[in-house]
Amino acid sequence: MTGLRRRPILVTLGAVALLAGVGLLAAGWYLIGEAERTGRLVSAALSRAAGVAVSVERARIEGPSRLVLYNLHLPPGPRWAGDVRARELRLEGGLLPILFPRGRALEIVLVSTSVTLAEHAAPLEPPSAESLESLRRLVMRLIEWPAALSLRIEGGELREGDQVVTFDLTGERTPTGAIGVALRVSPPGGPPALSLRLAGGATNGQVSLRIDAQGEPARLGAFWPAALPALAQLTLQAEGRLKAGGQLELAGLARAGRATGGPPFVIEFASEYRAATARLEFSRLGLDWGDGLRLRGSGAVELGADGTRVALDLAGPAAGRPVTLALRYAAATGAVTARLDAEGIDLRRLFETAGLAPPPADVTARRLRLSLSGNILSGQERVAVDASFEDLGLRELGADTRVDGQLRGDATLRLGAAGLELGRLAPSTLKLTRAGGVVLALTMGSRGEAPWPLAVEAAAADLGRLPTPSSLPATLTGRAEVRGELDRGRFAGVLTAELPRVELRLTSPIVVTGVRATIPLAWGAPSPAPAGTVAADRLAAYGLALDRLRSSARFADGRLVLPDVRYVHYGGRGSGSIEAAVGTSPVPLRTRIEGEHIDLAALTQAYGLTVAHLTGRVHYLFVLEHSAAHGLIAVGQANSEEGGGEVGIEALEKLLNSAKVQGESTGLLRKTLETLRVFRYASLDAEVRVARGGGHVSLSLEGRKRLGVFPPPVKAINFSNVPLALLVRTFARKEAE
């Protein structure tokens, strides 16, 4: 009976069987003894007959058809770890069913029964051939006994520590030889949390058995093994045969629903246990989880003197993709090895199939090969992982971001309140490759004996191999390095990088050269107090250039923020902010810049316009946003500063001669401009709008009064919604520089 504490329901059935046997032995004792024999003498006789210590306070025959034993007690002993008590054991039917059983009926009723489990469980031992053979013979004798027998327990209590559940049990042996047992276990005041029905018979020396069980294990509290997951629902249907020589066959179907929800887990099995070799073989083993996981295979469990050994080999589809799994475990040493080979990994679909919340990233891989080995003995489990994957990617980043890789890790795990927890991580490496070259090399491990934080070092020697998201396409050159600490879900560290050239491929390329960065990083943690710095020699976009850029910088939860950008260009200066996101942000890039004292003569020369004469200074405001839904959207405006400026008439004539620009119908404007060499303006106002369909420019020039008093020859010149592409073609240099 060792190890029964780990099986409280079996404890209940075993205790009941023992008490039923005590009842029959007591009847026999009365048959050969005197009615007035004391309870002490009955106790001694029953203890010798049952092989365990049994005490009976007193015994009495009540009328011709009832024998009652009072205050039965089975205390803990070398073969019995629990404590069983019953206030009364009644044998209804008297002694005649025992003396002359054929055609008669005997009923055993236990009143106020309690079973208390031992505080410390004994080690589990496999059923021996002798014990199974004794059980078979006992059941055979019971089946062959010609009398009808019934057993009833109502309101029994099963205790472990301060927790209590109640149980009701009924059993019968019909005149035809069929036996049946029904057990119901309930929390106090609640409906049954477990219902079990056993039915059996005998044929040719074999005991046939049918098991039907259903329940809600999560309501059983401490009576459900802590090592098993909490289950909201559990059903079991199985049929078996107990043969001579300690051989047991059992086949059936079990269905379990987790307390946390999700699809049920289904196990279909056909097994055979041979006690002589202490080996349990699964000739058929099927594991189903929802509609997406269907594994089939075989297994074996060896329950030898040197400990339990488990071997499982399974294969089948997981989320529609083939998976093979091999598992080996030796309990004596705690050694475990596992090999997994899976194709077409789709993490989001796997989580959906398992009824879990969606993962934070939509990870896919063409193939995964994983080898796991370690030791899971005595609460300090050590596991080594060697995994390789092909075409690993994040769907949010696009198809061009896929990489291959290899992971090697060595960790010690321990059992905590929430399940397995990290005990310590030895130096482990992750290497990502693409097109035969290393994209990223990462090393992480515990700093000391404590599991957290983990020291993290990552290096990308060639950023040109680094995949970039499709929402923010970029080409990088240079190198980068990250050093920091990972504390569970929080990361803090520092990024250092040197990038000779960065190119963002939007509506028009944005090129940044000479980038140098030292940026504090934070993920799932507060932003670091000291900000980093970013510097660049030049940023060129849409024909314009910003020089000597400087800004403080922060990177937190996937977003890079440059809040105080400073730069110079075209004789003036500017400031602004830049935000860039990594991952699934709907707006991966947002920029706002302002400039003042911009020299138009220097700007047109640098831009490459063929304007012969353009002077003046302007200030501007420019806002740019790139989103996955709308692409690039930019809005800007420029206004002249005090004093105005001049513009060569040939530039305006080029616009007037364009078929896409409507001139003044009377021709008066053209004739007036032809008499001038230079148009002097008092104010200049321009607006630029860029969207996915292209860009447009609106320009308004107000003429300057002559001598500050007389009206100008041309009061104003206005152009509305001129295509930006037209301006570039109209004013671009004929020869590339």
Q: How far apart are CA 632 and CA 359, in angstroms?
A: 29
Residue 692 contacts residue 630 (beta carbons within 8 Å): yes
What backbone phi and psi angles, to 5 degrees, belong to 656? -65, -30
Average pLDDT, the chain: 81
- Identify the residue whose tokens are 């001129």: 722
The two tokens of residue 421 are 């927890």
Give pLDDT tens digits for 387-446: 998 888 776 555 567 889 899 999 888 766 655 678 889 999 999 998 888 989 999 999
Structure tokens at 518: 């030292």
Which CA distances in Å does 616 have to 46, 340, 582?
117, 71, 41
DSSP assigned state of 134: H
The rounded distance, in Å, linking the Cα atoms of 150 and 166 is 20
Predicted confidence (pLDDT) per residue in 57-110, tens digit: 887 877 778 878 888 888 877 656 778 898 988 888 866 776 777 878 888 898
Residue 488 has pLDDT above 60, yes or no: yes
**384, amino acid identity:** A
How many angstroms separate the CA atoms of 144 and 49, rounded?
Answer: 21
Residue 446 one-letter amino acid: S
Neighbours of 674 (CB within 10 A): 10
Name the nearest CA neighbour of 731 among 624, 600, 616: 600
- Distance CA(189)–CA(663), nearest Å, equals 93
Cα 273 to Cα 209: distance, rounded to the nearest angstrom: 15
pLDDT band at 31 (very low <50, low <70, confident <90, very high): very low
Task: Kindly list the domain boundaries of the chain, sorted by start residue.
Answer: 1-226, 556-731
Model confidence at 662, pLDDT cuts 50, 70, 90, reads very low
The b/e string for 264-282 (b: 16+ C-beta within 10 A; e otherwise) is: bbbeebbbbbbbeebbbbb
Q: Is the pLDDT of residue 666 over 90?
A: no
Q: Which of 244-258, 444-458, 694-708 shows the lowest mean pLDDT across its residues?
A: 694-708
Instruction: Return left, alpha or beta for 417; rule: phi > 0 is left, psi -120 to 50 is alpha, else beta.
Output: alpha
Given a contact cutoff of 8 angstroms between Cβ atoms, the answer to whether 239 and 121 are in contact is no
Least confident of 49-63, 403-417, 655-669: 655-669
Q: Is a pLDDT exceeding 50 seen at residue 734?
A: no
User: What mean pLDDT is predicted for residues 369-398?
Assistant: 80
The yes-or-no verdict on residue 237 having pLDDT over 90 is yes
Residue 255 burial by Cβ neighbours in a 10 Å radius (0-12, 13-18, 19+): middle
Backbone angles phi, psi at 127, to 5 degrees: -60, 130
Burial letters for 227-247: b for 16+ Cβ neighbours within 10 Å, e otherwise? Answer: eeeebbebbbebebbbbeebb
When comparing pLDDT for 357 and 56, which is higher?
56
User: Residue 518, SS3?
Assistant: strand
pLDDT, tens digit (0-9, with 9 covering 90-100), for 601-636: 888 777 766 555 789 999 999 998 888 777 788 999
Q: Which residue has the higher pLDDT, 227 or 407?
A: 407
Rounded (5°) CA angle 235-236-239: 160
Q: Hey, CA dihedral for 121, 126, 130, 134, is it positive or negative?
A: positive
Number of alpha carbons in the 13 Å side-chain half-sphere of residue 601: 10
pLDDT over threshold 90, residue 252? yes
Nearby residues of 513 by Cβ (< 8 Å), 6 or more positions away: 500, 501, 502, 536, 537, 538, 540
Say yes or no to pLDDT of 665 above 60.
no
Q: Let me know how long the chain is.
A: 737
* Inter-helix orientation angle 724-731/649-656, to 10°: 130
CA 469 vs. chain centroid, Å, equals 23
* pLDDT of 376 higher than 80: no
**Averaged pLDDT for residues 476-498:** 91
Phi and psi of 508, rounded to 5°? -135, 145
Has residue 327 got a pLDDT over 60?
A: yes
Q: What is the pLDDT of residue 35?
A: 40
Q: Can you tell me whether residue 512 is helix, strand or coil?
A: strand
**645 Cβ neighbours under 8 A, 6+ residues apart:** 600, 614, 615, 616, 617, 680, 681, 684
Closest to 449 in 3D by CA, of 424, 428, 479, 430? 424
Q: How far apart are CA 646 and CA 681, in angstroms?
A: 6
Q: Report the C-alpha gap between 668 and 215 in whole angstroms.
A: 96
Indicate whether 26 pLDDT > 60.
Answer: no
